[in-house]
Amino acid sequence: GRRVTVRDLARAKQSGEKWPMLTAYDSMIASVFDEAGIPVLLVGDSAGNNHLGYENTIPVTVDQLVMLTGAVVRGTQRALVVADLPFGSYQVSPAQALETGARFLKEAGAGAVKLEGGVAMVPQVEALVTAGIPVMAHIGLTPQSVNVLGGYRVQGRGDEAAAQLLADAKAMQAAGAFAVVLELVPAELAAKVTAQLDIPTVGIGAGSGCDAQVLVWTDMAGLTPGRLPKFVKQYLDLRGALGDAAREFAADVVGGSYPGPEHAFH
């Protein structure tokens, strides 16, 4: 089989089919999700927090994300792999966005890129799409702007902010984006945006009215330490299970029960 394409996602919107998206930062985890039938995998700059040990997404570099994206592409056969454009790698100009975006397709084999921002990023989205690089937009809470927003809180509250969010979504669609992520947006507003767009909306903390839903894989699998945001559903306790496995291995080694005769060569 072939990979999922942006056309498949456009068709899903028309037929009202919802679809899931997960982040992935490495080859093996990506292969698990690919085999599970997740149609779109995002090599998010949330790799900064969840893979590289940074406090937020700001420090993530293009070189880092190109490397992780290549790994995810090599681990998958069917998923559309979308790569985040890191902070500072596209805002300068449409030319900068095109140079960065092209690296993700040429060097990593990504099928599309994602960037944060609405109306202000129209020239970037137009340049990318014109050059043949599919773009997923990301509006609402945009983590690369955490220092301007002053934290990770719900966006689009109030008439003015809601109107701006709708305008941002429509501008991204008009510029040629194939989908738009709505992060931390009131459910009613996300549903309204979804109804007014021809392209799919991908919600995260945006209620059930979106066309698709995305979660950070380490959140949904219970690997992320500490308290999770309210919108996350945790499907597994991977941190607990892996910790138990490590403690059991340690106890076996210390107690001499591993390796057993069946693990040895004679």
The residues annotated as belonging to the active site are 183
User: According to the binding rule CB under 5 A, does residue 45 interact with Na ion?
Assistant: yes
Instruction: Determine whether the annotation assigns residue 46 to a binding site.
Output: yes
Least distance to Na ion, CB of residue 167, Å: 22
Q: Which span sits near Na ion by CB under 5 A: 40-48, 63-71, 88-96, 251-259?
A: 40-48
CB 130 within 8 A of CB 157: no
Please give the C-alpha separations between residue 51 and each of 32, 65, 78, 140, 212, in angstroms, as whole numbers: 17, 11, 23, 24, 24
Q: Which span sits near ligand KIV by CB under 6 A: 41-49, 124-132, 146-154, 245-253?
A: 41-49
Which is nearer to ligand KIV, 103 or 138 (by Cβ)?
A: 138
Which is nearer to ligand KIV, 6 or 264 (by Cβ)?
A: 6
Q: Which of residues 161-190 bind ligand KIV (CB under 6 A)?
A: 181
Least distance to ligand KIV, CB of residue 59, Å: 13
Measured CA to CA, the distance from residue 113 to residue 136 in angstroms comes to 6
Instruction: Determine whether the annotation assigns residue 219 to a binding site.
Output: no
User: According to the binding rule CB under 5 A, does residue 219 interact with Na ion?
Assistant: no
Q: Which of residues 9-38 bind ligand KIV (CB under 6 A)?
A: 23
- Give the H/E segment covering residue 202: strand 201-204
Instruction: Determine whether the annotation assigns residue 27 to a binding site.
Output: no
138 phi/psi in degrees, rounded to 5: -145, 110
By beta-carbon distance, which residue lies closest to ligand KIV?
A: 44
Please give the C-alpha separations between residue 158 and each of 162, 163, 188, in angstroms, as whole numbers: 6, 9, 12
| Spatial CB neighbours of 165, under 8 Å, sequence gap ≥ 6 | 118, 139, 140, 155, 156, 182, 185, 189, 193
Helix 187-196 and helix 159-175, axial crossing angle in degrees, nearest 10:
30
Least distance to ligand KIV, CB of residue 261, Å: 46
Bridge partners, 85 (sequence order): none
Q: Which of residues 76-135 bind ligand KIV (CB under 6 A)?
A: 84
Instruction: Determine whether the annotation assigns residue 55 to a binding site.
Output: no
From Na ion, ligand KIV, none, interface partner of 23 (C-beta below 5 to 8 A by class): ligand KIV
From the centroid of its chain, how far is CA 2? Answer: 21
- Residues contributing to the annotated binding site for Mg(2+): 45, 84, 116
Residues that bind Na ion (CB under 5 A): 44-45, 84
